[in-house]
Amino acid sequence: METLDLGHHAALLLAAAASTLVLSLVVAFRAPIARKTGLLDDASKKAHAAHEGRVPLVGGVAWLAGAYTFVATLVILAALSGTLDLYAYWPAFAFLLLVGMFFILGCVDDVVHLSPRLRLAMSVAFVGGLLLAAGQHFTLQGVRDPFLGVEVSFGILSGAATILAVVVLVNALNMADGRNGIVAGLTIIWLIALASKTSDIYLTAAPVSYTHLR
């Protein structure tokens, strides 16, 4: 069987096209998806809501479906080209699994309204599991601000600091969610800031592959 040899740009374009298609399908069928899953937002229960009636809560579904399709397409192309190394990319897969687990937790909470203590315990368990699986790639070893000249190393508390940072971030985003544009705007700003400071988080194809997050 011949292997598929695609260049960098062709692989990314195919992945982007597949991702856009899946995302568009989720958006197009948002109403039946929301009804089947129970992911509906009742505006009458929110004082700050500007919309009326029950609105489908499928924005996260669309985003995650698109993101997973993008990665899955690259993985399939890499497998066909014979360049796929699952062990090398395990940290990236572990991170995507963590994102999916938080997403499922959020969906379940939207439908059945879990207790805050249970959500917190599950969040800590999720991040702790990620650190056990690929901690060397994701553990927050310290913080540094060259502008202020501040540098703090967490040492043996790195794991606890990482769990705290992720859980606090997730809950902060959850509290801000519902206000149009806030979470999306903040995320774009953070991504731009991260992209300007590191070369580790990016997609590449050689001929078809992507680097793991470090």
For every residue of 164-182, DSSP letters joined together read HHHHHHHHHHHHHTTSTTH
pLDDT digits (tens, 9 = 90+) for 163-183: 998 898 888 877 776 666 777
Q: What is the DSSP letter of 56?
A: E
Share the mean pLDDT of the chain.
77
- Residue 211 burial by Cβ neighbours in a 10 Å radius (0-12, 13-18, 19+): middle
What distance in Å separates the CA atoms of residue 92 and residue 72, rounded to the nearest whole number?
Answer: 12
pLDDT digits (tens, 9 = 90+) for 49-73: 555 566 777 878 888 899 899 888 8
Give 6's pLDDT tier (boundaries 50, 70, 90): low
pLDDT digits (tens, 9 = 90+) for 179-212: 667 777 887 887 787 777 665 544 333 333 333 3
- Give the pair of three-digit tokens for residue 30: 């948002």
- Residue 25 burial by Cβ neighbours in a 10 Å radius (0-12, 13-18, 19+): middle
pTM: 0.69
pLDDT of residue 46: 57
What distance in Å separates the CA atoms of residue 161 and residue 140, rounded to the nearest whole number?
Answer: 7
pLDDT of residue 69: 92
Q: Kindly report whether the peptide bond that precedes residue 207 is cis, defined as omega within 30 degrees of 0.
A: yes
Inter-helix orientation angle 59-81/8-28, to 10° = 150
Contact 214, 200 (CB under 8 A): yes
Q: What is the mean pLDDT of residues 10-28?
A: 90
Q: Considering the chain, what percentage of its residues have pLDDT values greater than 70?
A: 77
Place of tokens 């990319």: 89
Contact 56, 182 (CB under 8 A): no
